[in-house]
Amino acid sequence: MNTKIKVIILSSLVLIFLIITFFVVNKNIFVINLDTTVKTFIDNHQSPSVYNTMLSITKTGDVFGAFIIFIVFGLFLILKNKKSFYIFAIASSTGIILTEIIKHLVQRVRPYNLLEQGSSFPSAHTTIVTVFLLSSIFLLIPFMKKGGLKTVFLLITLIVFPLVAFSRIYLSVHWTTDVIAGIILGSISFIFAKIVCCYKKENVL
């Protein structure tokens, strides 16, 4: 994928994110209906066993869990390809910084829950696990030898990281649109890092 296409995709994602943010800030009726409908449905289908499972899964995106994953992924990439590590590091730091800035600016109230406090939009857990998922697929897996380990790693990342995002909704610590925004912001961070690290002197426009 050349730089021009990356810039087009990045610009499109930024536009979508801005639209969602505008709707959230202005309490758009579609956003409110979507968030409340999903929350009501999940609240009416809660299961103690599923709840406890989600509680364990969501810890993957906590500060400690994310730090451990960053160290493991980072060490692997440093040994395999330093440019890939730079992409991973820039994407992760960009996602975290942007999330905190936007949380401070938007100041959206979380759904009622007994687990977490603070601003809700966008979901920081979702942003970082999206970066991890994209990094797994496009940065780590290409350097793995073919075989069972590669397949197992891919399956685990395709299951665990999306489940972390879903757990944020299931546990009522985020609205659905917080998680959607987190997915988009994580994708923006990853593509931005790819552009920064892979840029060549060419006319990208």
pTM (two decimals):
0.92
Asked if 160 and 57 touch (Cβ cutoff 8 Å), the reply is yes
Ranges of residues in the chain whose predicted pLDDT is under 70:
199-205
CA distances from 141 to 8, 22, 151, 155 (A): 25, 36, 9, 11
- Asked if 30 contacts 175 with a C-beta cutoff of 8 angstroms, the reply is no
The pLDDT assigned to 204 comes to: 39
What is the pLDDT at residue 116? 84
Q: DSSP letter for 138, please.
A: I
CA distance 186 to 166: 15
Per the CB < 8 A criterion, the answer to whether 175 and 120 are in contact is yes
The CA distance from 165 to 183, in Å, is 8
The pLDDT value given to residue 150: 86
DSSP 46: -
Q: What values do phi and psi take at 195, rounded to 5? A: -65, -45
Distance, C-alpha 96 to centroid of its chain: 10
In whole angstroms, give the CA distance from residue 118 to residue 144.
Answer: 39
Q: What is the pLDDT of residue 14?
A: 97
pLDDT at 174: 95
Structure tokens at 140: 């780590």
Could you give the C-alpha distances from 190 to 17, 132, 139, 183, in angstroms and in order?
15, 9, 11, 11
Position 200 scores a pLDDT of: 54
What per-residue confidence (pLDDT) applies to 55? 93
Two tokens, residue 108: 């959206």
